[in-house]
Amino acid sequence: MLTDEVRYKLLSLLESNPRLSQREVARELGVSIGKVNYCLKALVQKGWIKAINFKNSKNKIAYRYLLTPRGIDEKAGVTLRFLQRKIQEYDALRAEIERIRKEADSHNPG
Protein backbone atom coordinates (compact mmCIF):
# COMPACT_ATOMS: atom_id res chain seq x y z
CA MET A 1 0.00 0.00 0.00
CA LEU A 2 1.27 3.45 -0.89
CA THR A 3 1.02 5.75 2.09
CA ASP A 4 0.77 9.52 1.68
CA GLU A 5 4.33 9.79 2.98
CA VAL A 6 5.69 7.37 0.35
CA ARG A 7 3.63 9.05 -2.40
CA TYR A 8 4.81 12.49 -1.33
CA LYS A 9 8.50 11.54 -1.15
CA LEU A 10 8.45 9.56 -4.39
CA LEU A 11 6.53 12.15 -6.41
CA SER A 12 8.71 14.97 -5.07
CA LEU A 13 11.89 13.07 -5.85
CA LEU A 14 10.79 12.21 -9.38
CA GLU A 15 9.56 15.73 -10.03
CA SER A 16 12.95 17.20 -9.08
CA ASN A 17 15.02 14.52 -10.84
CA PRO A 18 13.09 12.41 -13.37
CA ARG A 19 16.18 10.53 -14.59
CA LEU A 20 17.00 8.80 -11.32
CA SER A 21 17.39 5.06 -11.64
CA GLN A 22 15.31 2.79 -9.45
CA ARG A 23 18.49 2.02 -7.49
CA GLU A 24 19.08 5.74 -6.88
CA VAL A 25 15.44 6.26 -5.86
CA ALA A 26 15.70 3.32 -3.45
CA ARG A 27 18.87 4.79 -1.92
CA GLU A 28 17.30 8.26 -1.57
CA LEU A 29 14.15 6.89 0.07
CA GLY A 30 15.89 4.24 2.15
CA VAL A 31 13.77 1.39 0.75
CA SER A 32 14.41 -1.71 -1.38
CA ILE A 33 14.59 -1.62 -5.16
CA GLY A 34 11.67 -4.05 -5.20
CA LYS A 35 9.51 -1.59 -3.26
CA VAL A 36 10.50 1.23 -5.64
CA ASN A 37 9.65 -0.95 -8.64
CA TYR A 38 6.26 -1.82 -7.11
CA CYS A 39 5.51 1.84 -6.31
CA LEU A 40 6.55 3.10 -9.74
CA LYS A 41 4.38 0.49 -11.46
CA ALA A 42 1.43 1.50 -9.27
CA LEU A 43 1.94 5.19 -10.10
CA VAL A 44 2.15 4.41 -13.83
CA GLN A 45 -1.05 2.33 -13.62
CA LYS A 46 -2.83 5.19 -11.84
CA GLY A 47 -1.70 7.54 -14.61
CA TRP A 48 0.29 9.76 -12.26
CA ILE A 49 3.66 9.25 -13.94
CA LYS A 50 4.90 8.22 -17.36
CA ALA A 51 8.00 6.08 -17.81
CA ILE A 52 9.84 7.16 -20.94
CA ASN A 53 12.77 5.16 -22.36
CA PHE A 54 16.04 6.93 -23.08
CA LYS A 55 19.63 5.85 -23.57
CA ASN A 56 21.89 6.70 -20.70
CA SER A 57 25.62 7.32 -20.86
CA LYS A 58 26.43 3.64 -20.32
CA ASN A 59 24.61 2.60 -23.53
CA LYS A 60 21.79 0.98 -21.59
CA ILE A 61 18.14 1.75 -21.84
CA ALA A 62 16.97 3.69 -18.81
CA TYR A 63 13.76 5.47 -17.90
CA ARG A 64 12.79 9.01 -17.21
CA TYR A 65 9.78 9.30 -14.89
CA LEU A 66 7.61 12.31 -15.63
CA LEU A 67 4.63 13.45 -13.59
CA THR A 68 1.47 13.64 -15.66
CA PRO A 69 -1.10 16.40 -15.09
CA ARG A 70 -3.01 13.92 -12.89
CA GLY A 71 0.25 13.20 -11.05
CA ILE A 72 0.81 16.89 -10.43
CA ASP A 73 -2.73 17.19 -9.03
CA GLU A 74 -2.19 14.12 -6.84
CA LYS A 75 1.13 15.50 -5.59
CA ALA A 76 -0.62 18.72 -4.55
CA GLY A 77 -3.26 16.76 -2.64
CA VAL A 78 -0.82 14.34 -1.04
CA THR A 79 1.45 17.24 -0.05
CA LEU A 80 -1.43 18.91 1.76
CA ARG A 81 -2.45 15.69 3.54
CA PHE A 82 1.16 14.90 4.47
CA LEU A 83 1.68 18.42 5.80
CA GLN A 84 -1.53 18.29 7.85
CA ARG A 85 -0.48 14.97 9.39
CA LYS A 86 3.00 16.28 10.22
CA ILE A 87 1.49 19.39 11.85
CA GLN A 88 -0.76 17.18 13.99
CA GLU A 89 2.24 15.05 14.98
CA TYR A 90 4.22 18.21 15.80
CA ASP A 91 1.41 19.65 17.92
CA ALA A 92 1.03 16.35 19.80
CA LEU A 93 4.78 16.15 20.40
CA ARG A 94 4.93 19.77 21.55
CA ALA A 95 2.07 19.12 24.01
CA GLU A 96 3.80 16.00 25.30
CA ILE A 97 7.08 17.89 25.79
CA GLU A 98 5.26 20.61 27.72
CA ARG A 99 3.55 18.01 29.92
CA ILE A 100 6.88 16.30 30.64
CA ARG A 101 8.54 19.65 31.43
CA LYS A 102 5.81 20.50 33.93
CA GLU A 103 6.14 17.05 35.49
CA ALA A 104 9.91 17.40 35.73
CA ASP A 105 9.60 20.90 37.20
CA SER A 106 7.15 19.69 39.86
CA HIS A 107 9.57 16.94 40.92
CA ASN A 108 12.63 19.16 40.84
CA PRO A 109 11.77 22.54 42.39
CA GLY A 110 14.37 25.27 42.19
For residue range 3-38, list pLDDT tens digits in order. 888 889 999 999 999 889 899 999 999 989 999 999
Look at residue 27 in the predicted model and tell me its pLDDT. Answer: 94
The amino acid sitting at 82 is: F
Provide the b/e sequence for 50-70 (b: ≥16 CB within 10 Å).
eeeeeeeeeeeebbbbebeee
Q: Closest Cα to residue 51, out of 35, 40, 38?
A: 40
Look at residue 28 in the predicted model and tell me its pLDDT. Answer: 92
Q: Indicate the number of domains in the chain.
A: 1
39 or 62: which leads in pLDDT = 39
The whole domain housing 101 covers: 4-107
Per-residue pLDDT reduced to its tens digit, 53-79 = 876 656 566 788 999 999 999 999 999
In this structure, what CATH number is given to the domain that contains residue 85?
Answer: 1.10.10.10
pLDDT band at 95 (very low <50, low <70, confident <90, very high): very high
Burial zone of 93 (CB within 10 Å; 0-12 exposed, 13-18 middle, 19+ buried): exposed
40 or 4: which leads in pLDDT = 40
pTM: 0.73
Q: How far apart are CA 68 and CA 40, in angstroms?
A: 13
Look at residue 75 in the predicted model and tell me its pLDDT. Answer: 93
